[in-house]
Every structure is written in structure tokens, then in C-alpha cells.
Structure 1
Amino acid sequence: MKLKNYFLLLIMAIFTTTLNAQEIVPNVEQNPSYIGTFDSMVHIPSIASRMNEITRAVPLTGEPQDKRSLTYPVIIGKDPQTLDDYLASHPDPASQSIRVAPPIVVFDAYSAGGVSDPDMAVGPNHLFVTWNTAFAIYDKNGNVLLPPTSPNPAIFPSSGCCDLTVTYDKAVDRWVLTFLFAGGNQNIAVSDGPDPINDGWYIYSQSFNDYQKLSIWSDGYYVSQNEQGSNKIFALERDQMLAGNPAAQIVGFNLPGIQGTTPFFSPQFFNISDDTMPAAGGATVVFLQDDAFA
């Protein structure tokens, strides 16, 4: 499969107000801005086979200090929406109208202080919980299979930083993790089987920016990032990564519609959470945008 032959992105931006038309990149098919392969790929044996190497996570204490999402540089004088909140004065008629079933099981997964950034993925037999700097694995009843553990060297072979995420690829019964390393390098781990404890991992390394988010689509894994310059979003060659091919391709695209200098746009692609895959192409990305951004 050659990703560059058919990856055409349908970009959908969420705007809180109307943007100047001259500042918006047209929402049309675009050519890739980057085509390449991963910097490296290694295979890591299962966690179960290396329990003597595992490092238990040390709970953080104190008040969380991560304020990136609260410190946008904004244009002075723009309405902060504290007195004239449009959504409060124009509620959607369907708001709070959908009834949901009560939870089947409730248990504590992580309760320490510090930056949490929680994420979770559910498979047939496992519940994989991550937070900013560690992870834990449970069975479907909430019983601990692997207590809070540092991602390196349990899965990632070298030291890393933070922003750990997890996704379950139901169509192929695999687990996919991302982890930020020093210098902006990202590692993406793809399990080589359905069991995150007893199966090994393919570890792909590449330079992506902070706050990466990975989504599953029928024709690839899609990764977004916060980037002030080129505003790239990436399509990864999913079938080759699942096979452990070190030559798996990466195709990058620029993200249209960006306005302002803040790097915290939080872009993310729609994610397929079941095994019903749509046709190739048409992957959709949403991101935060406001005309008050400086």
C-alpha cells in the first residue's frame, strides 16, 4: 500500500466565530507537504517476559501546574464571553435530553496529584488506562492485572517525557500507544497481538510535536500535533505498522484554517472505535479556533 496514492483529507474546522475569509486556507484536496518513513523501529518483547525490568510509577503529589489550555494569547478587547455567553443564552433543544444507562462497574484507576491527562481504551479482555507519565492495565471487572507502571522501559526502550495516550484498534485486536520524548520525538507502540501484557510491541520513532493525538481510520493511523509553523497532520501506514515493517510510510499535510499565534489548537481526527471501517479516504479532523486568538 502506498499512502500517498490515496490519502485525501477532508478537513473540518470548528470555529467559535466567523473568520476573515482571506485568512482561511480553502477546504479542498491538497498535496502532501511531507512524505517519508519513520526514523527507526524496534521490537520489544512482552511486558510479562521482562517483569524484572519494570519500573513502578511514583504517584505525583501537589497541585497540577499544566496551564497551557488556559493561557491563550488573545486580542485585547474581545468579549471573553463571561457576560454574554452565546451558548448559555441559546441552548440546544436536545441538550441534556439523552438518557444513558448507568455504569456497570466503577473503580478508582489513578488518584494522585500532578498532571493527569487521562486516557483509556477497552478491549475484549483488558482495560488499558494511561495518564501523563504512566499506565495501568485491568480486567473488565476492574481487577488489577498490571499496577501503575512507568512506560519506559515497560514498553518504550528509552527514557521519555509525558503525554502518554492509548487507543484500541478493534478491527485487528491490537493496542496502539503514543509517548512524547525529549526534543519533540514521538514513539508509537503497536502491539504484535491482542494481549498488552503477554504480547510484544513494535516501537516506531519519529519527530512529532507536543500534545500528539492518534486516531484510527480505515486506511491509516492519523496523528495530529500542536505546531505553530507548518501545522502538519500525519497519516501513518497502518497495515505496515501492524506487520512490524520498519519501512512504514508517513505522509504529512498542512492544516488549513489556522489563525493566530497560539500553538494550542488541539487538533484530532475522528476515531473508529468499532470494527466497521468506512471507505478509504475522508478522514476528518476537528480543532479549536477562535477569532479572539492573537
Structure 2
Amino acid sequence: MPEYPNRQFLNFEQPIKDLYEQIEQTKKLADKNAKVDYTQTIIQLQDSIVEKRREITENLTPWQRVQLSRHPDRPYTLKYINKMCTNFIELHGDRNVKDDKAMVGGFAQLAGETVMFIGQQKGVNTKMRQLRNFGMANPEGYRKALRLMRLAEKFNKPVITLIDTPGAFPGMEAEERGQGEAIARNIYEMIRLKVPVICVIIGEGASGGALGIGVGDKVLMLENSWYTVISPENCSSILWRSWDMKETAAEQLKLTSDNMFEFGLVDGVVPEPIGGAHWNYDEAALILKNYLVPIIKELKQIDPAERVKQRIEKFSKMGFWEELPE
């Protein structure tokens, strides 16, 4: 992962950047004056960085968590797969239109268990972001995902989806090819899959773009991810005709992982390394892996028909309502 000075910092991470700059200045002093030992000073600054990371993430606002979920250094789907698994074999195409680069998937070995991984993939630089369409899948992306789920079901292998998208692609051509139908079909089919299905929001989980691969026996969220029907910016533009109220929108949407867990819309929150997943890819992947492995073992013990029944009941009970007397 990138080290300072190549690392990118968000506005509220500025105190961490200042500490890194102090370390760089101290190292330059050490190079100029070999007689003075600056080792202890550097160690103290490094400890201060860890403590500052902890302090910042303990006091994040909902909007800051949204920003953290979009951090340019944050690990994406393929990074998690490569860090958690071995023998990943990516599969391509929906066998109808084309291969959507925003949706990736394939078989991999997770702690000795063969599983099907599916997830949205954002690009790591400008060129790759364009190629991946910023993680916004077209209908063929969701149809590819469904093809891979059926393939996993055919070979009786668990399905793990990693969700990280600002939404399904809203272009006219996507609507012409049946974007809404593709997402609805995935929701309908996923709830009936006979194999264990685990869904994890690793970054952004927006609208139908997330739901298209978001129906499972267990739905988890990473600590600094978000999950809701609309992004704070778009919510602000609809309600206040401006993006200026995006922080208020983020607060009112209750989109953070702790809110979603409190509402019963997700089954668990996966902690991240101190400061966020972008600070330590290996640790972030290991934490997630340690959550996934026991869940797979637990779900495999349940009869497929019972598992489907529990999945349907789980999603049917979601939401809050009040019935008025007639």
C-alpha cells in the first residue's frame, strides 16, 4: 500500500499528515547531523500517528465516514480477494452482451474452502476508474453476477459478495438494456439460492446498485462503510436543490454501519484497522477473513431448504411500520 508522501489525506486527516511531515523533517536532520540520534524522536512521532488515527476515527461524523468509505487509498474488491484468498480464477461475461468491468467475480480458495466471490470493482487510478466505470455496473454486470451465482449453486459452493458502489449505472443505454429488471431479477434469484450467501458492504452501498448483489443469509458492513437508498449528495440536491446540505443529509439518512445494525438491516459490523482499512490492507483483509470463515461453516450446517426459508423470513421482517385500527 502507498506510503507517505504518495498517500492521500482527507481534510480531517490533516493532523496525521502534519505528523508524517515532522518525521520527514526529522529524518533530514538525522542525515545532516550523524552525531545526534533521532531514533527515539521518530518512534515517538510514529506512536503519535497511531494515536491520532485512533482519536480521529472515534469521533467521525456520518459525512466523514462517507468520505472515508470513498478514500482513494481504500482497498477494493480485488484487493480483498487477493489478500484473503488463493487460486482466484476470474470469470468473465454475461453470455449475452459483454463483460462488464465494474462487476468482477470468480472462484477462489478461502481457508481451504472453494467459494464464489462477486463484487463491484473501482479503479485505482484515473484510467482504471474509467475502465471500471467507477464501480457502477450496467445490466450485463448484474446478469454476469447472477450467472456466477447459478454456477456456484450448480457446484454447491458458497457465494460471497463484496459491495462497493455509488449505485448502478444510470445512463440511458443501461435503462434501455433493462437495468431495473436485471437488479430485480438478482434480488428474486438470490433469495432462493440453495447455497450459503454472505454479503459484505466494504465501501459504498448505494441504492439498487448494492441490492443487486446484496441479498444473503448474512449481511455485514465494514466499520467505515455506508448503506442507504441514496447518496448524501443526491439526497441534498433533491431536498434542498443543492449539494451544500450533504452533511445534514448524511446525518438524517442514518446510513452508517452502527445505524444499520441498530435497525436490524445488517447482521454485523466488521471492525477496520485503526484509522480505516486504507492504513493496512493485510490487517483489513485478515479481520474480514476471520469473520467470513466461521460464518460459512455455520451456514453449511443448515439444510438448504431451511436456509432459504430463514433468508426469506429475515428480509420479510425488515422495516418499521404501525397498523392503525379500522
Q: Could you state the TM-score of these two structures normalised by the residue count of structure 2?
A: 0.27
User: RCO greater where, 1 or 2, for CA within 8 Å and sep 6 or more?
Assistant: 1
Structure of greater Rg: 2
User: Higher strand proportion, which one?
Assistant: 1
User: Higher helix proportion, which one?
Assistant: 2
